[in-house]
Chains A and B, each alone.
Chain A
Amino acid sequence: MWNEIVTYWQEEGSIMTPMVSYLLENIWVTLYMTVVSTLMAYVLGLPMGIAMVITAPGGLRTNRVIYRILDFVANIVRSVPFLILLILALPLTRIIVGKGYGPTSVIVPLVLAAAPFIARMVESSLLEVDRGVVEAAQSMGAGLWTIIWKVLLAEARTSLIVGATIVLGTVLGYSAMAGIVGGGGLGDIAIQYGYYRGENGVAWMCVILLVVLVQGMQYVGTFISKKTDKRVR
């Protein structure tokens, strides 16, 4: 790995080659796709996850039909490989973004893929909240929204943050496949230059940058979740 990177630099005769600065620019493209997609996916996935917990058997507003539909959607979408989803979503992408290529157009399939995944993560986080605490809130006369907001989400926040960190890493991985539609970003470059053109040095640099990004996100996520958890002495 290191040999290939050093060889690349020797051949180019400089460390700060146009390719390297192109890579650094694309860190932002990757972050843009990952963060924006994740945020937008949460707008869909969080309510979906909450709805699944509420309507599940034994939930606060049991509704078998709604639960079955949400459960089914969450499973179906997660079973479709992202590469296929990327292509299947193209017509929708063109309607929403106006074009079928570029980083912004990758956000549409990324959101579609991440939302059901997020719904599952949120569901499992909320199910960890002690049933007794929910019962206590009910006994005080709390309504559904108070329970969702002040009991379920507030009590599960540590687990939700850990979940969000996992989601970010997954979406970052998906974004690498954006190259198929000319999405750009580090993953795209790794495939286009590294894989198709056999420039291993470039590929390895992309991989290293991606590893640093994931590590950074994981570190920040773990830090915040620990900082906000009041259950430890």
Chain B
Amino acid sequence: MEPIIQIQNVTKTFLGKDNQVEALKGISLDIEKGDIYGIIGMSGAGKSTLVRCLNFLEKPTTGTVLIENRDLSAMSEHELRKTRTEIAMIFQHFNLLMQRNVLDNVCFPMEIVGVRKADARKRAMELLEIVGLSEKAKSYPAQLSGGQKQRVAIARALANNPKILLCDEATSALDPTTTKSILQLLQQINRDYGITIVIITHEMTVVQEICSHVAIIDNGELAEHGTVEEVFTSPKTPAAKKLVFMVNPQMAEMRSKRCIRIVFVENSSFEPVIANMILECKAPVNILLADTKDINGIAHGQMILQLPEDEAVAAKMIHYLEERKLTVEEVDSYVE
């Protein structure tokens, strides 16, 4: 298939007063039509600069970007602006016009290309229907929640039937539930209208949720790219590994001094007691000592567990274990 976006050896250097920062150090990447392409990296990796190069909001220092084989760097100002109407963009902070109501915000891109006012309003209402905000047409952005503002921004982005939608940290200012619903909306848009979506994010969960492909940007360079499965199952570079393993929240160090000894005498060996307890109480324990064996299907032996600091959770755990007919006793000063 023909790539819709070709990033060709793009570099970007910002000149400071007495230093220069190489934000992008020669990135080449093809994005195919219909992809949901995640571009992920730590903050400062250069991903926001990269996405701004895709519509030339930032002009690359060297290298170029081709949109459907048309070279953005060879375009006149007028042609570039015309091409930008095919590449919509949504932002972390929504960037809505605060003095216009929702309907007029969605009409704005159509005003730019000269759509007749009545037609623009009709189309805007349809778009608000799609994003599920038709009853908010007359509201102002200040009256909306973050998720609703991003929905307005998405409706606005779709106004001129773009071929590409660029999302710059579009869910980073939203809570997890809202993030999920916005991602579902993006997925639906990709499926229903065949719009190629490029998602810039620092959250691997976002990539996991909806992306088909992912590129990892590290320190201005393309560290790794491929399908999400490939990169997930076998991350090769340190940058990729760091991002992939970050999905599992890092183990907090246990600081609690509260320890218990549990003795197994009559439990089934097949019942994963400790694992179930952890799932039930949603808090980790630290296994300091474990000496158990399976004798004819019955678990025998003992364990010493370090419990979480939270008194309520610790009490719940002890209660859970006692319910399971385990002998539980508190051990003093096992850890200093």
CB pair B100 A230 closer than 8 Å: yes
**Measured CA separation A233–B140 after assembly (Å):** 8
Contacts of A155 in B (CB 8 A): 97-99
Is B312's CB within 8 Å of the partner chain A?
no
- Contact string, B299-311, partner A, CB cutoff 8 A, digits 1/0? 0000000000000
- Which residues of A from 153 to 211 have beta carbons under 8 Å from B? 154-155, 157-158
- B97 near A138 with CB under 8 A, answer no
- Judged by a CB distance under 8 angstroms, whether B283 is at the interface is no
Q: Is A140's CB under 8 angstroms from B100's CB? A: no
In the bound complex, do residue A140 and residue B98 qualify as a contact, i.e. CB atoms below 8 Å apart?
Answer: no
Verify if A132 is at the interface (C-beta below 8 Å from B).
Answer: yes
Q: A132-B93, A230-B140, A233-B143 are in contact. Are A140 and B99 (CB under 8 A)?
A: no
A82, B302: Cα distance in complex, Å: 92
Residues 213-233 (chain A) with a chain B CB within 8 angstroms: 228-233
Asked if residues A135 and B57 are in contact (CB atoms below 8 Å), the reply is yes
Q: How far is the CB of B5 from chain A (nearest CB, A)?
A: 15
B108 touches A231 (CB 8 A): no
Chain B contacts for A130, CB-based, 8 A: 93, 95, 98
Between A141, A146, A231, the greatest number of chain B beta carbons within 10 A of the residue's beta carbon is seen for A141
Interchain CB contact under 8 A, B142 and A231: yes
The answer to whether A151 touches B85, judged by C-beta atoms less than 8 angstroms apart, is no
- The answer for the CA separation of A158 and B99 in the assembled complex, in Å, is 9
Chain A CB count within 10 A is highest, among B97, B109, B142, B166, for B97
Residue B326 CB within 8 A of the other chain: no
Binary flags per residue of B61-89, CB closer than 8 Å to A gives 1, else 0: 00000000000000000000111110111
B96 is an interface residue with CB less than 8 A from chain A: yes
Cα A132 to Cα B153 with chains together (Å): 13
Report yes or no: B95 in contact with A136, Cβ–Cβ below 8 A: yes
Chain B residues with CB under 8 Å of chain A are 55, 57, 81-85, 87-89, 91, 93, 95-101, 108-109, 111-113, 140, 142-143, 160, 166
Instruction: With A155-B99, A158-B99 given, name 19 new contacts (CB 8 A).
Output: A132-B91, A133-B96, A133-B98, A136-B91, A137-B112, A139-B57, A139-B84, A139-B89, A139-B166, A140-B84, A141-B83, A141-B84, A141-B109, A146-B112, A157-B99, A230-B98, A230-B100, A231-B140, A231-B142
